[in-house]
Structure 1
Amino acid sequence: MPDILSQALGVGGLWLVVLGAVLSGVVRGFSGFGTALIFIPLAGQVLPPVWVITILVVMDMFGPAPNLPRAWREGMPGQVGWMLLGAAICLPLGLAVLVRVSPEIFRYAVSILAIAVPVVLSLGLRYRGAMSRPLLAGTGAVSGFLGGVAGLPGPPVILLYMAGPNPPVLIRANTMVYLYAFDMMLLGVLAMQGRLEAVPVVLGLLMALPNIAGNILGARVFHPGHARVYRGVAYAITIAAAISGLPLWD
């Protein structure tokens, strides 16, 4: 264990991993999403793709935990369940693609997706229909594939809820519960496939502390009456992290 810990602490560019853990925690705390969109472009600059996703999943076991009871009460767990059903079907497909792509392609894909999400959300697209079970399951299926191939399960779910007539409290609650449950699912699949390595797992445990601090801070400053301000801040941080993660700057 000491050797593994020393290897984890000796990772080059560790400060970027820590920065990603803190910033993603703050945004997750006041918006309900943003962990992967911010953490992966930053950590992906210095670590291999599977390591990045492993650290993210392990870290995410703890970071949002203090806010989950509130999110469960304020959300609609039934809707989350249907999305998870779709995700369970397509997650393994996404992981199968992930292990076959180069780190450079991974970084481009993650950064482009992370930039696209705020841009699409800012267009103000609207969905007036019902949150039907097929729609929720289909959204979960797309989310599961993206979560496996790029570690980004959030965009389809975020786009669906932001486009609908949903209050900020419900958006924050449902996305937070869904993303936490998805992380548990992803961790289980990685374990079953034998892709969990000791060093990224230890790094994930270490990053949980700054991520928890960020989540608590973000939750404390959250106020439903200022949802537009929080959303703008989340978009700005997400785009900045995505741009910094492009391989163009290497």
Structure 2
Amino acid sequence: MDIVAEVPWLFLLIAGLGGYLQTVTGFGLGMVVMGLAGGLEVASVATVAAVISLMLLINCVVALPGRLQHIEWPSAGAVMVGVVPSILAGVAMLHYLSDEASSVLRVVLGGVILYGAAGLLLKPTHQAHVASPASFTLFGGFSGFLGGLLGIAGPPLIYHYYRQPLPPARIRNTLILLFAVTAGMRTLFIAVQGQLSLDILALVGWSLPAVVAATWVGRRWPPPLSALAMRRLVFAMLMIIGASLIAAGLTF
């Protein structure tokens, strides 16, 4: 199927919605795009995961210059130890499920989106001391696996980092670096396997202007809602998407 010829505008609308929500709330791009595009079967989960990884990589590369001195390097190094091998396992699992058990893949995707949605309203309890390197490696493994499987590496690392007694700006910059590493490793791996097709690159090329435009709109015309109300709105949207994917997978 020629993805660009068949469904570009629907995908662009979904990418624009994800970009707008990311701008006005600070989260949601990957989960919204993956959930809607995968649920509506706009493109395969493998294709959408590859597109999200490339979009995230470009976003992080643009955001990182000038911020490297504000990164929590000891924990970031520990996370990378867990991320690299688990990404490979996640990509391998994606290809197996795509070929052998697409209904299971829908259920897994729905579950991850529900998990991410729950994290929007649950406020992590701060720890008294920074966690051990082993815990960062463990959460890095979880995130790397989800990044490899679905292109959504954020939820475990975001939850773990925001429990640490670290300055919020340092946490944000560290997460940007780690998401860049995750997206870059995933993209490199599928490129080496010959799976970085022209359709994927074309979708990225089409999607970036839509996300940039949606970001500009979000900054200029944010919705007349409080931050808490917006979080609740996105939470409800993700819960509906996740539950729908699980229901579709169980009845497939």
TM > 0.5 fold call: yes
Q: Which runs of 5+ in 2 are unaligned?
A: none
Counterpart code for 1:84: M
> Residue 134 of structure 2 corresponds to which residue in structure 1?
134
- 3-state SS, counterpart of residue 211 of structure 2: helix
**Distance in structure 2 (CA, Å) of the matches to 1:221 and 1:165:** 34
| Matching of residue 117 in structure 1 with residue 111 in structure 2 | no
Q: Which residue matches 2:107?
A: 108
- The SS at the match of 2:16 is helix
Match of 1:26 among 20, 28, 44: 20
Q: 1:42 aligns with which of 36, 44, 48?
A: 36
2:60 touches 2:177 (CA, 8 Å); kept in 1?
Answer: no
Percent of residue pairs bearing the same amino acid type: 23
Alpha-carbon distance in structure 2 between the residues aligned to 1:150 and 1:109: 9
**Cα displacement string for residues 118-156 of structure 1 (whole angstroms, at most 9, x for unaligned residues):** 324534342514233222121111111121223221111
Matched AA of 1:206: W
CA 170–118 in structure 1, closer or farther in 2 if over 3 Å, else same: farther
Letter matched to residue 30 of structure 2:
A
Does the CA-based 8 Å contact 1:58-1:204 persist in structure 2?
yes
The alignment of Structure 1 onto Structure 2 pairs a total of residues equal to 241
Give, in angstroms, the shift of residue 88 of structure 1. 0.3
Give, in whole Å, the separation in 1 of the partners of 2:66 and 2:235. 24
- From 36, 44, 49, the equivalent of 1:53 is 49
Aligned residue for 1:90?
Answer: 86
Partner of 1:178: 178
Amino acid at match of 1:179: F
Following superposition, the deviation at residue 177 of structure 1 comes to 2.7
Quick one: structure 1 residues 63 and 11, their matched pair in 2 at CA, closer, same or farther if it must change by over 3 Å? farther
- Aligned-partner SS, 1:99: helix
2-structure distance, mates of 1:207, 1:229: 27
User: Where does the alignment leave 5 or more consecutive residues of structure 1 unmatched?
Assistant: none
Q: Kindly indicate whether the alpha-carbon contact (under 8 Å) linking 1:60 and 1:208 is maintained by their aligned counterparts in 2.
A: no
Q: Which shows bigger deviation, 173-182 or 140-149?
A: 173-182
